[in-house]
Structure 1
């Protein structure tokens, strides 16, 4: 995933569009908790600002995973924006990616953006109710009727007093 920026060197402010398709295997993204299904689409532009080349765009991917709460298999379309600056020389004042020649390789940028944007827990929806701790029924499909009351252990001494009467 290399973008040739040779024509931008003469025209600061000009935009150079790019688009790529790749797979999770090509990006070497491996996780036991999720996978990316099908092609990952990358669309963006490069702009020469006079001091650096700013690469901006969006990554479109479909993530498949098993919900951590209800164990349902899920598919989630994701759209992740990115924006990074690239320069030929490192500058102590600014954080930029350094490259040589007329080609900017955005492979690492795309990979890191996808991995960093993944949540710590895979939940099918924000209000997922999970599984019943008694019978294992998926509570998103309806109530199972089990008594799931768990007494507060801090109140156990008071409960014993009530049981003595």
Structure 2
């Protein structure tokens, strides 16, 4: 199974290797078929799109493993960025590995690394935290636990919550 990072802002961000893997896939597991269908149309993909998200990762993994057992070529993508990095997919990857199949990552856009590269921050060390909890008490608890970190902290946040978060 190929794990492929998808564009986070521009459809032209995909590498030639990622495009080739997507075009070779028989089945593409994605968070939201509506989002991935835009990419599929742009690239002229003919693979079947299957929704695999946080609410159906277990059954989705079983479906992908069955497809792999049938000799089908499977790709895992997220709506934007790298699957299994603050996105669904980690359980799928683990299940596919546990079933004895190889998981091949194909590098692609990662919002955390892209943001760091353009930040101008000189500290080479950073910690990727991912998404903070939505509820303020839980959010405060996480932030408090990070108070003593001596490195750049990178967080993800939903676009509609950025102002409130900052």
Greater share of residues in strand: 1
User: TM-score with structure 2 length normalisation?
Assistant: 0.18
User: TM-score with structure 1 length normalisation?
Assistant: 0.18
RCO higher in structure (CA 8 A, sep ≥6): 2
